[in-house]
Chain A
Amino acid sequence: MAGITGKDAILTRYAARLDELDRAKGQSLTRDAFRRLRRNKAAMVSIVVITLIVLAAIIGPYFMPWTVRQVDYTAFRSPPDWSKFHYLGTDQNGRDLLARLLQGTQMSLLVAAVATVVSVTIGVTYGAVAGYIGGRVDAIMMRFVDVMYALPYILFVIILVVIFGRSPVLLFIGIGALEWLTMARIVRGQTLSLKEKEFVEAARAGGARTRTVVFRHIVRNLTGPVVIYATLTVPEIIITESFLSYLGLGVQEPLTSLGTLISNGAAVAEVMPWLLIPPAVVLVTLLLGLTFIGDGLRDALDPKDR
């Protein structure tokens, strides 16, 4: 019935448009989580800052007047000097600090990313399998984790250095392979509670094989804790790397990392503070930012736990 005012027609059109807009657009849990994350200011600012740092570390070196290996024989131990394009000064060997800082950040981030991916992959698989199969398998697998926990990891790192030589990437794959222990425990705990849920039983009744149940039904529901823990692992690994480099077990010259830079700068902090402050600021910013993102993600993914 077309009314005199034509209101019906408008309403019908409006309903049709709503239908069109709503169609096939489920409000997935992930989308929900993003919406909540966007409201978290600290997390959003951190994301922006960290994105800038990452971009600078990757693209920055191509725009630098000085490279990491170049020595400026006219400027040893020079404080920031804009006329010579040493924006952050030079070190004892006349190398540009900004160039080294960018390269060091790049190295630290790379190491953190590689090690986190390794630790998440191993940890999730190991924990989910142990938790789901349960019983004796679980007991043996988790005792192994306990034993690994009990051993000091510095010992492992030294062994790994001996095995892998001084290749930084391999070394930090090794660190990731140690970092997975906590992840495995978290994942196992979550799996124990998830596997009692009816949807797991429903999946089995629907003919799913063990592998499908573990990876399609259990691991998918672990996204929350895993993502959160992963974001918190990144800073942990950066610190570990800094610590190892400080001890001289990490990245080797002429390559550098945030830890190496800080360790070099710390030695001369009183006379050449420009060597210490910039890498320290970058490290602290990274760690703080990642921690904020981790917190924000936790709140966004588990709104009930707040």
Chain B
Amino acid sequence: MNAPHRVALAVANIRKTFPIRLGMFRAPLTLTALDDISFSVDEGETVGIVGESGSGKSTLGRCILHLVQPDSGKIEFYGQELTHLSKEEMRQWRQDIQVIFQDPLASLNPRLAVGDIITDPLRSFFPGMKRNERRARALRMMDEVGLLPEMINRYPHEFSGGQAQRIGIARALITEPKLIICDEPVSALDVSIQAQILNLLARLKEEFKLTLIFISHDLSVVRHVSDRILVLYLGRVVESAPAGDLYASPKHPYTRALLTAVPIADPKKARERTIEGLVGEIPSPINPPSGCHFRTRCPYAIDECARVRPPLDSAGEGREVACIRWKEIDALGMAAATRRPEEVEAALQ
């Protein structure tokens, strides 16, 4: 980026809860999907959002698009506040914010031909556009994403997952958006196809000067594409850092645990390693642990962790960590992450 950083998207204190009705006479429970999330995305940047399933990644993406309405907080897109727009105004803004979905086949209407699927946004945003013009644009976009022109009249079930995802990408690009939210775009694909799609996204990003938000549970995928990474745990940001730094020296115990959980191809090395923490499942977002949400699975947890919600502290060079003990843990180095819990305990005392 040669131009001064322009903030494309600023998300401030977003909260989203879902009521869970138990019946007519019982008070509904609340599921907190997003708990006070703030971050910003610069123009031209790729921000990766990682977390386990249930951490609120996808809900965050849908909130930005206003496919689900956030309970509170602000979402600003190029300085324009989106949260208070009317339905119709928001509809117009969707031209500039598009989305690529996780399940490529499910995101295509089985009754429409590919050409119609790709040009569907054009029909909505430019109702006056001629059919020929739309088809011409579809063909151009299909060429961009590596689909053959004769596929234009085929139907989704005739395509493989990778091709279907290319159709999804073509549809997202056809309105020439500024920001694309990729919601696990490759997790449903074979590894070899994943690489193709990721490279395609990288090329299109340069070509169309896109800003990307890349949601995934796969750390190696996110690392490949992101400039900056946000780690989510139970609806909260636990760490945010430039991609290189995060992988080199993760500071939050959760990030450390995630990174040690990335599979290693060499079975010998894999056997020598024990994974830090991360025993058990992610707690239920209906009744999350008090204080730090991660404390129930954290090898470094102390009593203090149950009392206060750890603030998102600045940890130097554009990094932020939400852990009250991050400095102590950081001092242990990454080697500690692959040690047994008893050893870690000993080192800390």
Contacts and interface: CB of A to CB of B under 8 A. Distances in A.
> Is B truly associated with A?
yes
A220 B117 CA distance: 13
B89 to A, nearest CB: 12
A68 to B, nearest CB: 45
Contacts of B154: 26-27
B106 A205 contact: no
A199 B124 contact: no
B113 A28 contact: yes
Interface of B: 62, 65, 67, 91-92, 94-95, 98-99, 101-103, 106-114, 120-121, 123-125, 150, 152-155, 157-158, 168, 171, 175
Interface residues of A, number: 26
Contact of B65 (A203, A205, A221): A205
A163 interface: no
A207 B101 contact: no
B101 A206 contact: no
B150 A24 contact: yes
A204 B109 contact: no
A24 B155 CA distance: 11
Residue among B94, B95, B120, B123 with the highest chain A CB neighbour number at 10 A: B120
Contact of B106 (A27, A197, A203): A197
Contact of A206 (B62, B114, B171): B171
A28 B114 CA distance: 11
Nearest to B157: A29
A212 B102 CA distance: 23
A209 interface: yes
B184 to A, nearest CB: 11
Contact of A223 (B111, B168, B171): B111
Contacts of B175: 206-207
A205 to B, nearest CB: 5
- 10 tightest Cβ-Cβ pairs between the two chains A and B: A207-B124, A206-B121, A26-B154, A198-B107, A26-B153, A220-B111, A198-B106, A199-B109, A202-B107, A205-B99
A19 to B, nearest CB: 8
A209 B95 CA distance: 13
Contacts of A22: 150
A220 B150 contact: no
A240 to B, nearest CB: 32
Given A19-B150, A205-B99, 11 more contacts: A26-B155, A29-B110, A29-B157, A199-B110, A201-B62, A202-B108, A202-B171, A203-B109, A206-B121, A207-B92, A207-B124
Contacts of B158: 26-27
B109 A207 contact: no
B107 A207 contact: no
Nearest to A207: B124
Contacts of B101: 198, 201-202
B152 A24 contact: yes
Contacts of B107: 198-199, 201-202
A19 B101 CA distance: 32
30 contacts: A19-B150, A22-B150, A24-B152, A24-B153, A26-B114, A26-B154, A27-B154, A27-B155, A28-B155, A29-B111, A198-B102, A199-B106, A199-B108, A201-B62, A202-B99, A202-B108, A202-B171, A205-B65, A205-B94, A205-B98, A206-B98, A206-B120, A206-B171, A207-B91, A207-B92, A207-B124, A207-B125, A208-B120, A221-B109, A223-B111
A226 B92 CA distance: 33
Contacts of B94: 205-207
A207 B89 CA distance: 10
